[in-house]
Amino acid sequence: MGEKNKKRKSENSELEKILESSRRDFIKKAGLSGAAIIAGAAAIYSGFRHEKAKHPGNTIKVLTEDNRLVEVPVDQVKGYKPGLKVFQTRGREGIKGKKWVMVVDLSRCRNARKCIAACQGAHHLRPYEYHINTLVMQESENTPAYFMPKPCQHCDNPPCVSVCPVDATFKRQDGNVLIDNQRCIGCRFCMAACPYSARMFHWQEPKDATAVSGTEYNIELNVPQKRGTISKCLFSADRLRENMLPYCVSACPNGVYYFGDENEDAVTNGTTKETVSFKELLKKNGAYRLMSELGTRPRVYYLPPKNRLFEFEEPEKEQKI
């Protein structure tokens, strides 16, 4: 037993020795790191003071591209101008979660042609170059004539997209059919395939070609237009990105157009700014789509021209260029 205790005692003293030395070590290290912390904190504090002096408390909350809300000092905010690459990427993808639809109320159209003018102004087109045109329609002798605005139908089964050899014209996730005039080779197969004659070709140098030659090509506006390529109605994809109604829809004085998101089941009248249920509107008015028998599944719906508030007037000859 005694031997055992002795042994234990000697072990204890050895342990004490070790502890003693580590204690001393610890105090030394703690002192050193403490000093370092103070110095570091001082440095950070002075840095903070410095930064604080630079931004006197003004921050702004900004929504990032991936929908995060972040705070940014006001004077760090730079104006953002998207370049060609951004235009192309986002232009080809479309706006997430949306399914754009247009409803055209034929009973209200009296051929004011304001939609055409607004469209041609935005897209730098000549008076006889159309993304949208108002046609005089008459089924047969006994049926009444009426005006029919005809934009691109933005088909869900677009014949033009199928035949394009180089992916210049394409269907976006939000339903729009766009054209990339940086890619288009000018074969005009899409024109041949489109049953709605919705496409136009730049046979010559486009209007205002020199005036807009410096600006970056925006695929959602298709400006600057390019000779030897196709152009077409884009449902004003550039305006949709800014939460605005298409050019033609806003320009109409007669409340012909409704435009909106099928997913939300809401369409807004471009003239009255009244928002109604998309499905309700179609249901109440017996809506139809142009040549649905072709299986193109258009995203433009028409409300038949019944109960018109005005007489149909044959357009003047001059308008017919």
Please select the residue that binds other proteins; options are 87, 100, 130, 217, rule is CB under 8 A: 130
> Per-residue string for binding with other proteins, 86-105, x by CB under 8 A?
--------------------
The answer to whether residue 165 forms part of the interface with other proteins (CB under 8 A) is yes
- Distance CA(250)–CA(259), nearest Å, equals 10
Mind giving me the DSSP string for 37-59? HHHHHHHHHHHHHHHHHHS-S-E
Q: Which range, of 8-16, 65-73, 100-108, 128-136, touches other proteins by CB under 8 A?
A: 128-136
Q: H helices within the chain, ranges in order? A: 2-54, 84-93, 114-122, 159-163, 189-193, 237-241, 247-251, 278-285
Q: How far is CA 82 from CA 39, 88, 230, in A?
A: 44, 10, 24
Residue placing its CB nearer to other proteins in the complex, 175 or 206: 206
Please select the residue that binds other proteins; options are 189, 212, 263, 265, rule is CB under 8 A: 189
Residue placing its CB nearer to other proteins in the complex, 187 or 287: 187
The answer to whether residue 162 forms part of the interface with other proteins (CB under 8 A) is yes
The answer to whether residue 156 forms part of the interface with other proteins (CB under 8 A) is no
Tokens found for residue 93: 């993808």
Nearest approach in angstroms of CB 41 to other proteins is 58
- Distance CA(52)–CA(248), nearest Å, equals 49
Please select the residue that binds other proteins; options are 117, 137, 266, 287, rule is CB under 8 A: 137
**Considering only CA atoms, which of 267, 218, 229 is closest in space to residue 81?**
218
The answer to whether residue 297 forms part of the interface with other proteins (CB under 8 A) is no
Would you give the DSSP letter of residue 138? Answer: -
Residue placing its CB nearer to other proteins in the complex, 191 or 276: 191
Residue placing its CB nearer to other proteins in the complex, 86 or 166: 166
> Per-residue string for binding with other proteins, 195-224, x by CB under 8 A?
xxx-xxxxxxx-------------------
**Considering only CA atoms, which of 219, 184, 179, 216 is closest in space to residue 88?**
219
Nearest approach in angstroms of CB 306 to other proteins is 21
Question: What's the one-letter identity of residue 173?
Answer: Q
Q: Which residues pair with 70 in a beta bridge?
A: 62
Q: How far is CA 295 from CA 44, 152, 298, 319, in A?
A: 67, 15, 9, 33
Residue placing its CB nearer to other proteins in the complex, 183 or 241: 183
- Distance CA(222)–CA(231), nearest Å, equals 7
Bridge-based pairing of strands 300-303 and 100-105 is: parallel
* 295 torsion bin: left (phi>0), alpha (psi -120 to 50), beta (else): left
The answer to whether residue 45 forms part of the interface with other proteins (CB under 8 A) is no
> Per-residue string for binding with other proteins, 238-257, x by CB under 8 A?
--------------------
Question: Which residues make up the interface to other proteins (CB under 8 A)?
Answer: 128, 130, 133, 135-137, 150, 159, 162-167, 183-189, 191-193, 195-197, 199-205, 226-229, 290-291, 294, 296, 319-321
